[in-house]
Amino acid sequence: MQTFITKNINETRNWAAKFAKTLIQPTTVALHGDLGVGKSEIARTIIQTLCGVDTVVPSPTFTLVQTYIAGKIKISHFDLYRISDVAELVEIGLGYAIQNDITLIEWPDIAADMLPKNTIHIDITELDDGRQIVIR
């Protein structure tokens, strides 16, 4: 387990960019934390680091999944906040992505039984003066 403290959004982005460079396919990253704590910003930074800073990264809150390709790298970004039935996870391609892509999952709890044992879990907590990021 590793813990990082970031004092502002720029430090959070810098941390996420460094973390992104360690990822290879297939890898699953589960982003945990309350609303507004920075899950989407970390996912966006990872995607832009791997696919290019000009990559437009909308939140997949309503589309449920966004896919990005940069050369041989394929990234699937899921937001499972609105999923209420585990069967929907198969329909949106989560199992396939986990086996093949760099898969970033916001609100991953409903998918707990599908996540591989080597999933990287990132817990993000708001602090009075920044964020605490715990990798487990």
**Both tokens assigned to 82:** 């609105």
Helix 39-51 × helix 9-20 angle, to 10°: 50
Under a CB-based contact definition with an 8 Å cutoff, are residues 102 and 29 in contact?
yes
**Both tokens assigned to 28:** 């699953």
CA 135/CA 133 separation, integer angstroms: 7
Q: Coil, strand, or helix at residue 122?
A: strand
Which domain CATH number covers 9?
A: 3.40.50.300
0.85 cut: is pTM over it?
yes
Q: Coil, strand, or helix at residue 67?
A: strand
What pLDDT is stored for residue 12 in this prediction?
96
Output the CA–CA distances (angstroms, integers) from residue 72 to 48, 61, 63, 76, in the order listed.
Answer: 15, 26, 24, 13
What pLDDT is stored for residue 82 in this prediction?
92
- Considering its fold, how many domains does the chain have in total? 1
CA 108/CA 127 separation, integer angstroms: 22
Name residue 25's amino acid: Q
What pLDDT is stored for residue 11 in this prediction?
96
What pLDDT is stored for residue 51 in this prediction?
96
Range of the domain at 48: 2-135
pLDDT in tens, the chain (136 residues): 999 999 999 999 999 999 999 999 999 999 999 998 999 999 999 999 999 999 999 888 778 999 999 889 999 999 999 999 999 999 999 999 999 999 999 999 999 999 999 999 999 999 999 999 999 9
Give which of 43, 53, 42 is closest to 13, Cα–Cα. 42
